[in-house]
Amino acid sequence: MERGLGTSILIMPTVELRQRVREQRAARREQQLKYRGVSYIKKSINVDGEMHRYIPILAKNEGFKKIGQKIVNHRPRKYGRTKFGASRFLHGFLDLLTIWFISSFGKRPMHLFGSLGLLMLTTGLLFAIFLGYDKLFVNPLGKLITERPEFYISLVTMIIGSQFFSMGFIGELMLRNSNKKPQYQISKKLNL
């Protein structure tokens, strides 16, 4: 009888000990993710060139929810001269336009290029129809259509519109066929 009692006493602490160890490991992982948040974000986003200014926007676009600021102590410059000038402002503005474009149309380029292309193609086509109507019915004895600058404007507008539409289509194909990066981030791994 004592032997069975001793066995059950040995098993119970082992089960409780395993449960405590699992809880401690989970708490440790959670702490590591909390303190490794910056390195986890850096691995998840692509910061090229001078895009470091917009890390919070890039992190938001990748799906991170809790984004905040940390107050730092700025000290006045002791040595050297500032490198901030007009070219740095221009590069920052161009990077901002890039971020806006990627966040708005990065996953759906046909929405921008396709709509712009259809607008230009339709405008050029309507203008060409107007020129043809003008030549056939309004002023049949006037200048030839090819001698009018409006014809070339409508022709160029139709060509550029079809190129924009094609760019949007090719962008969609490239986006669908690139398997570089998954469309999701894994926030927590569970041992199931």
- 151 located within any domain: yes
**Whether residues 113 and 170 fall in one domain:** yes
- 129 located within any domain: yes
Looking at per-residue pLDDT, the higher value among 112 and 13 belongs to: 112
Domain tally for the chain?
3
**Whether residues 138 and 151 fall in one domain:** yes
**Whether residues 63 and 23 fall in one domain:** no
Give the separation between CA 158 and CA 164, rounded to whole angstroms. 10
Q: What is the pLDDT of residues 119-132, one digit of tens each?
A: 999 999 999 999 99
**Whether residues 114 and 97 fall in one domain:** no
Q: What is the pLDDT of residues 91-120, one digit of tens each?
A: 888 888 888 888 888 888 999 999 999 999
Beta carbons of 95 and 51 less than 8 angstroms apart: yes
Give the separation between CA 149 and CA 126, rounded to whole angstroms. 15
- 134 located within any domain: yes
**Whether residues 112 and 101 fall in one domain:** no
Q: What is the pLDDT of residues 65-90, one digit of tens each?
A: 777 777 888 888 888 888 778 888 88
Note down the domain range covering 24: 1-35
- 170 located within any domain: yes
> What pLDDT sits at residue 164?
96
**Whether residues 146 and 165 fall in one domain:** yes
